[in-house]
Structure 1
Amino acid sequence: MNPIFKNILAVIVGLFVGSVVNMAIILISSTVIPPPDGADVTTMEGLKASMHLFETKHFIFPFLAHALGTFTGAQATALIAANHKTKLALVIGAFFLLGGIVNVFTLPSHIWYNVTDLVFAYLPMAYLGGKLIKKKKS
């Protein structure tokens, strides 16, 4: 298979896998840590209106979703990519980081969470995911 085509396919698959993992964790989060009383988390408007009710524990699963979604997406990309595995894994991290930045501007949240999420959940996890696959393949 053409390496360029294989790398493009790797990025597409990585984005898909990462998004599925992210959404799966978000979907199960409310069964593990229920949202605060009176919070409507079924719509974006309801979520925005009730963010002030959220405690630290309510940010654990969103962070895990972002970090593990990026990590698995980067790993999938590095597994499939023909070459430049770590660089392409970082492309996945950059895509998810862009989504995280959009999320920060759309959904008001605590500044400590925004900083933690943007600094630790995307590029470091993508780098780690890509490096682990690269090391395993060597």
Structure 2
Amino acid sequence: MNSTIKNILAIILGWIGGSIINMALIQVGHSIYPIPNIDINNMNALSKVMPTLGTNYFIFPFLAHALGTFVGAIIAYSMATNNKMKFAYIIGVFFLLGGIMINFMITGPLWFITADLLLAYIPMAWLGGQLAQKISKK
């Protein structure tokens, strides 16, 4: 298979794999910490209640963003044919852009937005790439 096609697939499958992890953890979080009297699919209602929620409601969103990026970066790194770390970072940037968008749409507390945007995306892409590199050398 052509290396360009493999690299494009690395990004697509890294994004899909990371998104599956992200959504699964969000769903687990909502089942463990349900928000009372809120339809979680209603962005306006969710946005209004977010600043009033306790720290426990933000554990799973942070884990979802961080681990989704981490897994996506591992997939992209593992599938890319060259400049593998670049592909892990591309996944990190895609998820960071999504994180910026969701933090504007559903505004949470400043501490969460700061931690989310600074720790969950690019650092986790780096960690995912580093782990994939170590695994591939074995």
**What aligned pairs does 1:24-43 form with structure 2 within 5 A after superposition?**
24-35=24-35, 37-43=36-42
Which residue in 2 is equivalent to 1:68? 67
**What aligned pairs does 1:88-107 form with structure 2 within 5 A after superposition?**
88-107=87-106
Confirm whether residue 131 of structure 1 aligns to residue 130 of structure 2. yes
In structure 2, list runs of 5 or more residues that go unmatched.
none
The offset of 1:42, in angstroms, is 3.0
Q: Counterparts of 1:109 and 1:72 in 2: how far apart (Å)? A: 24
The offset of 1:49, in angstroms, is 2.0
Confirm whether residue 10 of structure 1 aligns to residue 23 of structure 2. no
Q: Counterparts of 2:38 and 2:31 in 1: how far apart (Å)? A: 14
Computed over aligned residues only, the root mean square deviation of the Cα atoms, in angstroms, reads 1.2
Structure 2 SS opposite 1:83: coil
Count of aligned residue pairs for this structure pair = 137
Q: Counterparts of 2:76 and 2:53 in 1: how far apart (Å)? A: 34
Percent identity of equivalent pairs? 47
TM-score normalised according to structure 1 size? 0.93
Q: Counterparts of 1:34 and 1:119 in 2: how far apart (Å)? A: 26
Q: Which runs of 4+ in 1 moved over 6 A?
A: none
Contact 1:39/1:53 (8 A) holds in 2? no
The offset of 1:100, in angstroms, is 0.6
Q: Counterparts of 2:60 and 2:32 in 1: how far apart (Å)? A: 9
In structure 1, list runs of 5 or more residues that go unmatched.
none
The offset of 1:48, in angstroms, is 1.2
